[in-house]
């Protein structure tokens, strides 16, 4: 079917409405999909940023987008990708597996995205096969351990698996000398992904799990769950609760006298600025620590990320923002190294620019890495969240940071110590 350029533009302007019908009627004739101009870098280079901007986790989505904006600023203000500008295309997928299908098809077919950033929650379930089929590079933060050994060519997880996150929480409990632990994880898939890993690590570390209450996603009261934990007399509690649950749970926790028990939480206390304030300032300051894979904020590259975020938004960086920043910077370097924004051309360079092989010079900012590439050097790019050492499944291991969570929405978490990746892997 012949489609003229003006007709293609009209189709693109229809937005999401009727997108499935548009594709069925022959959108490929408009140059849809990931097709690029072969060995050249388009200008601009489109990076789609998919997240649930209007979901219950909108704060995490906003942090993801701001991280992408930090990378965009640093790339474009340092010459772009071999002269081409980065253009961001935010799209709201609701962190939902059904909505994500429409959005992914749109950014591939209409926006010609070279890179997709995001896919962090349940939205990945139907989206990844579409991304893989259309040969577009995606940098995601999928925590679900069920995909840990799934081979996909074009999708990379720049965040760690919840299996490693759970193991890291257990390691921290052991390091603190705790022997009896209670697990307070809500019933969502994202939270339950931690539990098997914690149980497995606990057996290796000699920890006893004394309570595992069933915590509903929504409830008028958490008194029964709180009492089950307190009656088990744990040395510490390992926890992940969604932000809307935190205030109600800690209200009942405080009323029942649980405030002296140490709590180790997942990255939720860092990804949502309202998490720790909802738990209460005294609890967050004196009894709660958070374990998260972001451990490179003190490096020169990490400080550039933190300071640029502050400059652009006048606020502390958001946890999920580091992942988008890493993915976008990595994608830009792979495109520059390949001399092409066609994902089928630059995909192998994602592994090349993160390789620690002999002859690869370490670097941790776009400016430094780009200068090395222009000088004909091989590079090893390390991110803010992790060192970006991908295994055969395009998953990463990482050192973990132990943080005091931010006490207000205008603060950042404070890095207290680091758990080496080897200690986590040993019990996972």
CA–CA gap between residue 61 and residue 292 (Å, rounded): 17
Phi, psi of 241 (to 5 degrees): -125, 145
Confidence check: pLDDT of 26 > 90 = no
The phi, psi pair for 295, rounded to 5°, reads -135, 5
Could you report the per-residue pLDDT of 144-166, keeping only the tens digit for each?
898 899 999 999 999 999 999 99
327-351 per-position pLDDT tens digit: 999 999 999 999 999 999 999 999 9
* DSSP state, residue 261: S
Distance (Å, rounded) from C-alpha 3 to C-alpha 387?
A: 46
Main-chain phi, psi angles of 379, to 5 degrees: -125, 160
**CA dihedral sign, ordered 95, 74, 372, 35:** positive
**Residues of CATH 3.40.50.2300 domain(s) within the chain?**
5-159, 163-292+398-425
95 in the Ramachandran plot: left (φ > 0), alpha (ψ -120 to 50) or beta? left
- Tell me, what DSSP letter sits at residue 262? -
φ, ψ at 290 (rounded to 5°): -115, 140
With cut-offs at 50, 70 and 90, classify the pLDDT of residue 8: very low
DSSP 33-95: TT---TTS--SSEEEEEEE-TTSTTHHHHHHHHHHHHHHHHHHHTTTTBTTBPEEEEEEE-TT
The CATH-assigned architecture of domain 163-292+398-425 is 3-Layer(aba) Sandwich (3.40)
| pLDDT grade for 411, boundaries at 50, 70 and 90 | confident
CATH topology of domain 5-159: Rossmann fold (3.40.50)
CA distance 424 to 406: 25
Residue identified by tokens 């993915």 is 327
d(CA 144, CA 160) in angstroms, rounded, equals 9
Whole-number pLDDT of residue 79:
96
Q: What is the mean pLDDT of residues 6-11?
A: 40
pLDDT(254) > 90: yes
Return the structure tokens found at 210.
């004394």
Residues 195 and 212 sit within 8 Å (Cβ to Cβ) = yes
Give backbone dihedrals phi and psi of 336, rounded to 5 degrees, phi first.
-65, -40
CA atoms of 405 and 402, how far apart (whole Å): 9
pLDDT at 18: 46
Computed from CA positions of residues 304, 309, 311, 314, in that sequence, does the dihedral angle turn out positive or negative? negative
Q: What is the pLDDT of residues 71-115, one digit of tens each?
A: 999 999 999 999 999 999 999 999 888 999 999 999 999 999 999
Indicate the pTM of the whole model: 0.85
Contact 136, 116 (CB under 8 A): yes
Distance CA 253, CA 231 (A): 12
Rounded Cα–Cα distance for residues 410 and 273 (Å): 8
For CA atoms 423, 426, 427, 428, give the dihedral sign.
Answer: positive
Cβ neighbors of 55 (< 8 A, separation 6 or more) are 61, 94, 95, 96
Confirm if 125 and 57 have CB atoms less than 8 A apart.
Answer: no
> What are the strands, taking DSSP E only, across 86-136?
86-92, 115-118
Backbone angles phi, psi at 96, to 5 degrees: -120, 135
């Amino acid at each position: 079917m012949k489609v003229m350029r003006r007709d293609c533009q009209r189709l693109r302007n229809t937005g999401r409405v009727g997108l499935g019908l548009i594709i069925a009627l022959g959108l490929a004739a408009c140059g849809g999909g990931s097709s690029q101009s072969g060995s050249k870098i388009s200008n601009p280079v489109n990076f789609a940023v998919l997240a649930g901007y209007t979901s219950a986790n909108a704060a995490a989505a906003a942090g993801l987008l701001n991280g992408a904006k930090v990378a965009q600023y640093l790339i474009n203000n340092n010459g772009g990708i071999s002269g081409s500008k980065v253009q961001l295309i935010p799209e709201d997928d609701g962190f939902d597996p059904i909505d994500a299908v429409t959005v992914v098809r749109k950014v591939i077919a209409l926006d010609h995205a070279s890179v997709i950033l995001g896919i962090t929650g349940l939205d990945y379930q139907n989206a990844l096969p579409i991304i893989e089929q259309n040969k577009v590079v995606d940098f995601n933060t999928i925590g679900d351990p069920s995909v840990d050994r799934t081979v996909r060519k074009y999708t990379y997880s720049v965040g760690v698996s919840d299996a490693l996150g759970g193991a890291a929480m257990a390691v921290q409990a052991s390091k603190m000398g705790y022997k009896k632990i209670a697990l307070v994880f809500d019933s969502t898939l994202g939270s339950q992904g931690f539990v098997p890993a914690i149980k497995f690590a606990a057996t290796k570390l000699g920890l006893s799990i004394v309570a595992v209450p069933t915590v509903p996603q929504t409830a008028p009261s958490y008194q029964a769950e709180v009492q089950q934990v307190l009656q088990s007399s744990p040395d510490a509690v390992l926890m992940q609760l969604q932000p809307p649950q935190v205030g109600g749970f800690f209200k009942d926790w405080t009323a029942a006298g649980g405030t002296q028990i140490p709590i180790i939480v997942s990255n939720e206390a860092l990804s949502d600025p309202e998490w720790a304030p909802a738990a209460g300032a005294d609890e967050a300051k004196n009894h709660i620590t958070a374990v998260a894979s972001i451990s490179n904020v003190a490096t020169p590259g990490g400080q550039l990320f933190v300071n640029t975020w502050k400059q652009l938004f006048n606020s502390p960086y958001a946890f999920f923002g580091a992942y988008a920043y890493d993915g976008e910077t990595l994608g830009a370097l792979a495109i520059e190294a390949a001399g092409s924004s066609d994902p089928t051309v630059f995909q192998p360079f994602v592994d090349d620019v993160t390789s620690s092989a002999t002859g690869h010079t370490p670097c941790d900012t776009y400016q430094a890495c780009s200068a090395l590439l222009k000088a004909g050097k091989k590079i090893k790019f390390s991110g803010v969240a992790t060192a970006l050492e991908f295994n055969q499944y395009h998953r990463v291991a990482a050192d973990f940071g132990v943080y005091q969570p931010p006490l207000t929405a205008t603060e950042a978490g404070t890095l207290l110590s680091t758990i080496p990746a080897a200690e986590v892997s040993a019990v996972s």
